[in-house]
Amino acid sequence: AQSVSQHNHHVILSEAASLELGCNYSYGGTVNLFWYVQYPGQHLQLLLKYFSGDPLVKGIKGFEAEFIKSKFSFNLRKPSVQWSDTAEYFCAVNWGGSTLGRLYFGRGTQLTVWP
């Protein structure tokens, strides 16, 4: 069955620290990959997405992610976090074909950045 795993449930960093959040999905095939962010009290917002092409994807607010097909992974990175990055981060996967766009989400990672 399709599933998405996020390795860290809660990450605490100081400002200017580097960030890497892990995301793995259960099996291959054609996948579309997403990272969403949910700021406190707000809705899910798209950070970045991968459909095809260059496996290193750049998103908004200095975030990037790398798709490694052989590892079924799509890890999120940011070289220097800010206090305003405090939020919950969700990795999501859509498997192509019959799933018709439904997203499978990971459990989310709560990122807390101390000023």
Partner 1 sequence: AAGVIQSPRHLIKEKRETATLKCYPIPRHDTVYWYQQGPGQDPQFLISFYEKMQSDKGSIPDRFSAQQFSDYHSELNMSSLELGDSALYFCASSSRRGSSYNEQFFGPGTRLTVL
Minimum distance between the CB of residue 115 and partner 1, rounded to whole angstroms? Answer: 26
- The answer to whether 94 contacts partner 1 (rule: CB under 8 A) is yes
Which of 13, 21, 33, 36 binds partner 1 (CB under 8 A)? It is 36
Q: What is the largest CA-CA distance in the chain?
A: 45
- The answer to whether 74 contacts partner 1 (rule: CB under 8 A) is no
- The answer to whether 8 contacts partner 1 (rule: CB under 8 A) is no
How far is the C-alpha of 8 from the C-alpha of 109, rounded, in Å? 6
3-state helix, strand, coil in the chain (%, to 5): 10, 50, 40
- The answer to whether 11 contacts partner 1 (rule: CB under 8 A) is no
Of 85, 89, 99, 7, the residue nearest 44 (C-alpha): 89
Pairing state of beta strands 23-25 and 31-38?
unpaired
Burial zone of 102 (CB within 10 Å; 0-12 exposed, 13-18 middle, 19+ buried): exposed
- The answer to whether 103 contacts partner 1 (rule: CB under 8 A) is yes
- The answer to whether 102 contacts partner 1 (rule: CB under 8 A) is yes
Residue span 47-66 as binding mask against partner 1, x where in contact by CB under 8 A, dash where not: --x-x---------------
- The answer to whether 42 contacts partner 1 (rule: CB under 8 A) is yes
Contact set with partner 1 (CB under 8 A): 4, 32, 34, 36, 42-46, 49, 51, 90, 94, 99-108
